[in-house]
Structure 1
Amino acid sequence: MIGRPVPPPLNAVQRIKKHATATTALTNSAVPRQVLALGIELEDGPLTKFHIERRFPGARDVVIDLEFCGLCHSDVHAGRGEWGAKELPLVPGHEMVGTVREVGGQVRDLDIGARVGVGCLVDSCRACEACREGLEQFCPNSVGTYGASDPNTGEYTQGGYSQQIVVNRDFVLNIPESLDPASAAPLLCAGITSYSPLRHHNVGPGSKVGVLGLGGLGHMAVKLAAAMGAHVTVFTRSEDKRESALGLGAETVVNSTDTAQLEAAADSLHLLIDTVAVPHELGTYLRTLKRDGALVQLSLPEGPMPGIDAGALIFKRLSYTGSLIGSIAETQEMLDFCAEHSITSDIELVDARSVNEAWDRMVAGDVKYRFVLDLATLGDPAKEDA
């Protein structure tokens, strides 16, 4: 999982020459209009290889040669029409890491060859209340990395299961050099999704944080909360995950099928992060919260959740809330925090030929803890049967 090396820092003269070269390259467009991708062409069909067209880059755009892209369960939901029909063909992927190939003339803060990332958003309206507050993830007209209408072209966006992407500089993240690029890719979704509620609820030394579920989101929540100084408790139905949870930074592990262990955990937490993606009752877990505690729903269960007893909230002034991804600024903060604390996702690297199998394994929960697609294999002639 060693990516291409990051070039050494450039001096001022070299940077000017780089930007001049980039501007000239954009003017004469050395950027291929067609790039190889992996996606869904037919309804209910498998992931297959085909070519897509990337837009001609503008003055504020960055052309990125992609190296790695995380496989998120959201990709499966979207690709298989489980969250409603999507325009086809559809190229998923919103956890991508690559290197800058070219920049527009108005992009002054990125060097060619710099390692960068793109997450769940590639644009927003820039004018609504959320955007003005720096919370573009809540913009009602935000543009998703795939399956959304692109205001630049009027066509649908296509994601990171591809060789290259063109993205506005404002939505491009800097990947710290100390982070392994493959295992940093899931930070662009799973990482920020876990980090944002921890920051919003001011988690720090002395905080008691619970994490329900130990999958892609859960393992990141454990690592991040522990690095923030919290005492972390993991709730899992599988006794086999006890050692894994402790190894990730948890100090307490509760088997949620054991009534005695659950009773011992009552009134022990300030915050509980719920990452379980199937419908499940919450009354048991609300009882683990202290007065003024909060249960935050991160996953989007496949079906309606059972109702909550209002008394469980009222008599301890509890909050039941949700959280999305973070803003671009918060995502960069998260990446820098991860670099400072040597945090990345635990991954299994897969090649283009294995992506359909990886999707099936994700649905079955057979991954520890995230799959990442090695995009170098996408154009490998030996893998043309993907």
Structure 2
Amino acid sequence: MKTSGYAAMDANTPLQPFTFERRQLRPEDVAIDILYCGVCHSDLHQARSAWGPSLYPLVPGHEIVGKVSAVGSGVTQYKVGDSVAVGTIIDSCMECPQCRRNEEQMCYKGVTLTYNGKDRVSGDLTFGGYSNHIVVREEFVLRLPDGLDMARAGPLLCAGITTYSPLRVWNVGPGSRVGVIGLGGLGHMAVKFSSALGAHTTVLTRSEGKRSTAFELGADAVLLSTSPEQMASSAYAFDLIIDTVPHEHDLRPYLDLLDADGTLVIVGSLLDTPAFSNLPLIMGRRRIAGSPSGGIRQTQEMLDFCARKNILPECEMIKIQDIEASFERMERGDVRYRFVIDMASLAADQNA
């Protein structure tokens, strides 16, 4: 299938129009016309080889929303015209203990990434959602519930599930006390989910200017992490803290905020952590944990939850031709809170 998109040809040049062939449908495959694709910080990192050498040409995009255009002979769950979504992974071994537990994102044999990966069958590069079509194995296609705005649903497939998953794994609900560090693309979704699950939710921020926004998103309280007085008065205040900050920072100040048996969960891409004393962990039986994206079953649960609770990310719609400018704005933190590409804008290149 001839497909148009935007690709990074190397780590140093802007994304540019790119034409390529999607594979012919296998029996288990679903073909999707992409209508919208969210812009994730990891799209920029991988386009620039910031997380190690990327595979070029690279078509980013793993927050995909569209309509089924064709199905393989063995597909039973979807039909042409269905509204569907695709997230960060498009295949796994389906046999290991993690896959059998519906935790495909932690497949022991490694997942197939939606982009910057290799197809498990052919070995071909996988190309993502900055394009007008995609072909995905049925088990990794998600049903988009009725009533969920397709134009805003894309970021749920990464920012959404990345913050929803730890809240579910750590059994957050009424009576839980949850802190959220950072109020960007991930953080604003963590606040919405935590609040909707019934937890008392506090935003931990360095900026007093985030206070009104935090309350608008559903927070019950705001804790200014630059205030020694506020931090000291919040000792033992949280059962769970979700850390969404995507760059190196000191975890030590947050450990004293955890109650006994409390957990600090890192979901931001924190590659290096300054050294700190482990005494607060030992004395409080506290934990520092990490959490990746969720499995397919849990991601579907999240989408259904969002439809019931009317939860959507705050988005700014862009044209694909503006992707480089959007990357630059994203690096500056100049977006509230996620960009979404209207893939209909690809037609402008095709008609030029």
Distance 2:2 2:80 in 1: 21
Q: Please state if 1:321 is matched with 2:285.
A: no
Equivalent residue number for residue 43 of structure 2: 75
Q: Tell me by how many angstroms 1:352 deviates.
A: 1.2
CA distance in 2, matches of 1:57, 1:88: 24
Could you list the runs of 5+ residues in structure 1 that have no partner in the other structure?
Answer: 1-32
Q: Is the CA contact 1:61–1:107 (under 8 Å) kept in the aligned structure 2?
A: yes
Pairs within 5 Å for 1:132-143: 132-139=100-107, 140-143=109-112
Asked whether the equivalents of residues 36 and 51 of structure 1 are also in contact (C-alpha less than 8 Å), the reply is: yes
Q: 2:19 aligns with which of 27, 51, 76?
A: 51
Residue deviations 1:115-169 (CA, integer Å, cap 9, x gap): 1000000000112121122211001321000011102321110000000000000
1:34 aligns with 2:2: yes
**Inter-partner Cα distance in structure 2 for 1:282 and 1:381:** 46
Whether the aligned pair in 2 keeps the contact of 1:63 and 1:103 (CA below 8 Å) is: yes
Summarize the Cα distance change of 1:382–1:138 in structure 2 as closer, same or farther, 3 Å threshold: closer
**CA 1:39 to 1:383, structure 2 compared with 1: closer, same or farther past 3 Å?**
farther
State the alpha-carbon separation in 2 of the partners of residues 207 and 317 from structure 1.
18
Report if the CA contact (8 A) 1:55-1:153 is conserved. no
Change (3 A) 1:43 1:316: closer
Residues 92-119 of structure 1: CA deviation (Å, up to 9, x unaligned): 0000000000111111221211110000
Contact residue 271 and residue 293 of structure 1 kept, 8 A: yes
Judge conservation of contact 1:353–1:383 (CA < 8 Å) in 2.
no
What does residue 199 of structure 1 align with? Answer: 168
1:174 aligns with 2:157: no
Q: TM-score, normalized by length of structure 2?
A: 0.98
Same amino acid, percent of matched pairs? 47
CA contact (8 A) 1:352 1:383 kept: no
CA distance in 2, matches of 1:86, 1:44: 12
1:218 to 187, 208, 233: 187
Deviations 1:215-268 (A, max 9, x none): 000000000000000000001111111100001010100111111111121111
Alpha-carbon separation, structure 2, partners of 1:180 and 1:320: 35
Give, in whole Å, the separation in 1 of the partners of 2:98 and 2:158: 20
**For residues 235-246 of structure 1, what are the structure 2 equivalents within 5 Å?**
235-246=204-215
Q: Offset at 1:43? A: 3.3
The one of 154, 162, 186 equivalent to 1:185 is 154
Counterparts of 1:211-290 in structure 2, within 5 Å, are: 211-290=180-259
Q: Show the counterpart of 1:353.
A: 321
The one-letter amino acid paired with 2:339 is F
SS in 2 for 1:126: coil
Amino acid paired to 1:196:
S
Q: Distance in 1 between matches of 2:54 and 2:20?
A: 16
Q: 1:52 & 1:240 partners in 2: Cα distance?
A: 45
Q: Which has the larger radius of gyration?
A: 1
Q: Once structures 1 and 2 are overlaid, which stretch shifts more, 125-134 or 334-343?
A: 125-134
- C-alpha RMSD over aligned residues: 1.1
